[in-house]
Amino acid sequence: MKREHLRPLVHAGVLGFAALTPVLGRWGMAGAAGAAVLVNLFLLPRTRFGKSLARPGERRFGGLVTYPLSVALAFVLFNGGGGLLAWAILALGDPAASFVGGARNWRLRIPWNRRKSFAGFAAFLAGGSAGVILVTGFRALWMGGMDGVGETAFSFEPELLVMVMLGALAETLPIPPDDNLPVALAAGSGWPLIVLWKRLLAGGTGGG
pLDDT digits (tens, 9 = 90+) for 107-144: 899 999 999 999 999 999 999 999 999 988 887 777 66
How would residue 199 be classed by pLDDT, with cut points 50, 70 and 90?
Answer: confident
How would residue 203 be classed by pLDDT, with cut points 50, 70 and 90?
Answer: confident
CB atoms within 10 A of CB 191: 27
In the three-class reduction of DSSP (H, G, I as helix; E, B as strand; rest coil), residue 181 is classed as helix
Q: In degrees rounded to 5, what are phi and psi of residue 109?
A: -105, 155
The domain locations on the chain are 3-207
Q: By the 8 A CB rule, do 150 and 35 touch?
A: no
CB atoms within 10 A of CB 156: 16
How would residue 156 be classed by pLDDT, with cut points 50, 70 and 90?
Answer: low
Give yes or no for residue 1 having a pLDDT over 60: no
Position 75 scores a pLDDT of: 96
- DSSP state, residue 120: H
pTM here is: 0.90
Q: Which residue, among 120, 98, 99, has the nearest Cα to 109 in the 3D structure?
A: 120
